């Protein structure tokens, strides 16, 4: 808004209106529940993600997380527990608070991860060579079948299935090669205590101000994923800021029961 184009009184009124509309929006948003852990929760039974869901009971609304397979196909899809949203979020946020205030834990996690990275990179060069050799072989086999098909010495019925098999193998090999290359890029840096402290501060500030988007952003920076075993046990894998892709997990005893929404 260009302040000089209108007089001060109008400007103030306009500002107030905008502020009101803003707070209306905020009020409106707060009616719908912000599932802070969506995209982080992974079902240990079927491997799918958990999603946020809600149901109306006689007196209240239940917000909960449920495995995607169970949400879609019921208990035929997956029998994983449905977990009360708020309680689960509190348990995870508590765990973050205690893990990241324990710098010893962070140091230990970092050391273990650094050792593992070193071990892996020794083995990976060897495997990379093997994968690349096999990739070459597979590619030339594909070329031969294509040539045979083109010059008419093989029918499409003859080479079709074999080509399909070979290209499946090719894709497997390519993705394995990318994985190995990716592992190699994982440089083990030092954990960054300042960054950790500032993220913890951001998190508690965002929590105290009820800013769900900020909470989510900080959570994603500190938590890689959360394995849900059942209602008694969830296991977050933490990221250690500063140490690229390093993580360490911790069992979080929840102490709540699964929900059975109506
Ligand atoms: Zn599941």
* Helix residue spans in 43-155 (DSSP H): 68-73, 85-101, 103-150
Per-residue confidence at 16, pLDDT binned at 50, 70, 90? very low
Mean pLDDT of the residues in the chain: 77
Mean pLDDT of 227-250: 73
Which two tokens mark 197? 């402290």
The closest of 251, 249, 124 to 176, measured between CA atoms, is 124
Give distance in angstroms: CA of 250 to centre of ligand 1.
21
Nearest to 230 by CA among 96, 85, 93, 82: 82
- Per-residue pLDDT tens digits for 70-79: 999 998 999 9
pLDDT reading at 9 higher than 50: no
CA of 46 relative to ligand 1 center, distance in Å: 4
ipTM of the complex as predicted: 0.99
197 Cα–ligand 1 center, Å: 34
H or E segment to which residue 193 belongs? helix 193-209
- DSSP of 7-26: -HHHHHHHHHHHHHHHHHHH
34 versus 250: which is more confidently predicted? 34
Over 60: is that where the pLDDT of 24 sits?
Answer: no
The single residue listed with the structure tokens 């070979």 is: 166
Angle at 223 between CA 221 and CA 229, to 5 degrees: 160
Residue 104's alpha-carbon distances to 88, 100, 109, in angstroms, are 26, 9, 8
Q: Which among 109, 112, 63 is positioned nearest to 236, based on CA atoms?
A: 109
User: Distance (Å, rounded) from C-alpha 225 to C-alpha 35?
Assistant: 15
* C-alpha of residue 61 to centroid of ligand 1, in Å: 23
Residue 85: pLDDT above 70? yes
- What's the gap in Å between 71 CA and the centre of ligand 1? 9
> How far is ligand 1, taken at its centre, from the CA of residue 163, in Å?
35
pLDDT, position 5:
32
* Ligand 1 centroid from CA 79, angstroms: 7
More confident residue, 120 or 48: 48
Q: What was the pLDDT predicted at 124?
A: 75
Q: How far is the CA of 191 from the centre of ligand 1 (A)?
A: 34
Q: What is the pLDDT of residues 28-60, one digit of tens each?
A: 444 588 899 988 999 999 999 999 999 888 888
| CA dist., res. 111 & res. 122, Å (int) | 17
Cα-to-centroid distance, 44 and ligand 1 (Å): 7
Q: Are 22 and 229 in contact (CB under 8 A)?
A: no
């Amino acid at each position: 808004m260009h302040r000089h184009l209108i007089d001060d009184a109008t400007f103030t009124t306009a500002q107030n209106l905008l502020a009101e509309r803003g707070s209306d929006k905020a009020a409106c948003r707060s009616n719908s529940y912000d599932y802070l852990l969506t995209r982080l929760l992974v079902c240990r039974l079927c491997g799918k993600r958990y999603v946020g869901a809600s149901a109306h009971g006689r007196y209240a609304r239940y917000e909960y997380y449920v495995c995607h397979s169970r949400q879609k196909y019921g208990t035929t899809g997956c029998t994983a527990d449905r977990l009360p949203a708020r309680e689960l979020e509190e348990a995870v946020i508590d765990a973050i608070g205690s893990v990241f205030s324990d710098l010893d834990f962070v140091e230990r996690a970092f050391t273990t991860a650094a050792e593992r990275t070193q071990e892996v990179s020794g083995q990976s060069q060897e495997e990379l060579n093997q994968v690349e050799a096999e990739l070459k072989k597979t590619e030339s086999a594909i070329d031969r079948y294509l040539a045979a098909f083109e010059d008419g010495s093989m029918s499409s019925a003859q080479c079709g299935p074999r080509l399909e098999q070979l290209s499946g193998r090719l894709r497997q090999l390519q993705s394995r090669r990318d994985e190995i290359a990716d592992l190699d890029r994982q440089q083990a840096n030092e954990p960054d205590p300042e960054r950790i402290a500032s993220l913890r501060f951001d998190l508690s500030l965002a929590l105290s101000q009820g800013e769900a988007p900020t909470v989510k952003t900080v959570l994603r920076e500190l938590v890689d994923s959360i394995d849900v075993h059942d209602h008694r046990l969830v296991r977050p894998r933490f990221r250690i800021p500063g140490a690229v892709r390093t993580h360490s997990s911790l069992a979080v005893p929840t102490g709540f029961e699964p929900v059975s929404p109506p």
